[in-house]
């Protein structure tokens, strides 16, 4: 499974973009720290991802890497992904916020065209509507899965108490 499969983008990738566009994007998309010999988009995903963003930001980055007509195709897909994500019960507000920022920048640069200006305004209002949740997501780091802090602190206190008891028993 590659990253396109992970985000269920493989079919869209193969139908929406030309072979030349796919080649250019896959060649130029290079996450930091990834070996330059292999194309990341087609590499098999191994292990756990430590990234806090998801499909929306991934598409936004691809739009930045893409050239010419492919940029618009990917930006349209990014906007569609944002709207789909907002309709889901569980939302990654960091991902949505960052993708909206990229879309707003793109449309605001082209604000002389009223359609782009109106789209930038629409996206700004959408970003404002999720600002409270996004701020909360950025303030609170994710907690480790499987153990809450009370359990963890309880185990630490229990372990310390056992060590003290063991030392007292030795004396």
Per-residue pLDDT tens digits for 65-122? 999 899 999 999 999 999 999 999 989 999 999 999 999 999 999 999 999 999 999 9
> Is the pLDDT score of 152 beyond 60?
no
Tell me if residue 66 falls in helix, strand or coil.
coil
* 16-74 tens-digit pLDDT: 999 999 999 999 998 877 777 788 888 888 766 656 679 999 999 999 999 989 999 99
pLDDT of residue 147: 54
pLDDT of residue 170: 67
pLDDT of residue 153: 59
pLDDT of residue 131: 94
Taking a C-beta distance cutoff of 8 angstroms, is the pair 80, 113 a contact? no
- What is the Cα gyration radius of the chain? 22
3-state helix, strand, coil in the chain (%, to 5): 70, 0, 30
Whole-number Cα distances in Å, 93 to 57, 128, 138: 11, 12, 9
Q: Where in the chain are the domains?
A: 3-140, 147-171
């Amino acid at each position: 499974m590659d990253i396109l499969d992970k985000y269920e983008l493989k079919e869209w990738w193969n139908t929406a973009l030309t072979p030349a566009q796919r080649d250019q994007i896959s060649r130029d998309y290079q996450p930091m720290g990834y070996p330059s010999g292999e194309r990341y988009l087609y590499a098999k995903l191994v292990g756990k991802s430590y990234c806090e963003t998801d499909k929306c930001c991934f598409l936004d980055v691809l739009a930045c890497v893409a050239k010419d007509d492919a940029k618009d195709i990917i930006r349209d897909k990014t906007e569609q992904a944002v709207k789909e994500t907002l309709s889901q019960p569980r939302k990654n507000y960091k991902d949505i916020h960052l993708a909206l920022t990229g879309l707003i920048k793109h449309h605001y640069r082209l604000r002389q065209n009223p359609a782009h200006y109106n789209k930038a305004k629409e996206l700004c209002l959408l970003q404002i509507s999720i600002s409270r949740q996004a701020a909360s997501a950025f303030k609170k780091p994710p907690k480790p899965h499987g153990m809450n802090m009370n359990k963890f602190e309880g185990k630490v206190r229990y372990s310390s108490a056992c060590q003290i008891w063991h030392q007292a028993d030795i004396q």
